[in-house]
Structure 1
Amino acid sequence: MEAFARRAARELRATGASARSRSAPAYDRLTAQETHIAREVAGGATSKEVASRLYLSPRTVDAHLRSIFRKLGTTSRRQLKDVPDLA
């Protein structure tokens, strides 16, 4: 696996990109607002419920969720329950 990782890193550098460090847990990359929304959704709240609690629109909550899913590498609300320190 290490050989593949080194090769991938070399290829990324050749394109001008760089690999992200994985030293910190993924949830540490969330903003405070995203963390709050992720915890609410992991607890079973709908976008509409979270929006009313935080005085946001449901569309804003959904936009935050898309960012949360991307940062955590998840694709659904159910997967947020499995992220440590969120549920």
Structure 2
Amino acid sequence: MLRAAAAAFDALGAGPWAERARIELRATGESRRKPIDAIDTLTPQEQQIARLAADGLSNREIAERLFLSPRTVTTHLYRIYPKIGIKSRSELAAMMAERPF
């Protein structure tokens, strides 16, 4: 919501308000995410794992579904997060929810 407000203020030329929205956004602890297109930089398997993790499946459940070890799923997620500029599963879920399918 704050990210959208900052973008709206920028579009309206209200720089001080946009900066205030960004300050509030940083105060929430939310990290700066890369654009949704960053998901396109993931391999097909990384995209599949990201989608399942965003849907709320545990690493074990993802592993069983994809015939992988839980450790492999953990490793993929470890590599996915910095590629798309996130730090948590909840940020992953939010980013994937914004992505049209």
TM over 0.5: yes
CA contact (8 A) 2:59 2:74 kept: yes
TM-score (norm 1): 0.68
1:39 paired with 2:70, answer: no
Name the count of aligned residue pairs.
66
2:74 aligned residue:
62
CA distance in 1, matches of 2:86, 2:99: 15
CA distance in 2, matches of 1:76, 1:86: 21
CA distance in 2, matches of 1:47, 1:86: 24
Partner of 2:94, secondary structure, is coil
The residue identity in structure 2 corresponding to 1:67 is R
Residues 63, 23 of structure 1: CA spacing in aligned structure 2 closer, same or farther, 3 A cutoff? Answer: closer
Structure 1 runs of 4+ with >3 Å offset: none
TM-score (norm 2): 0.59
The residue identity in structure 2 corresponding to 1:68 is I
1:13 aligned residue:
none
Q: Aligned-residue CA RMSD in angstroms?
A: 2.3
Stretches of structure 1 lacking an aligned partner (at least 5 in a row): 1-21
CA contact (8 A) 1:39 1:86 kept: no
CA contact (8 A) 2:36 2:99 kept: no
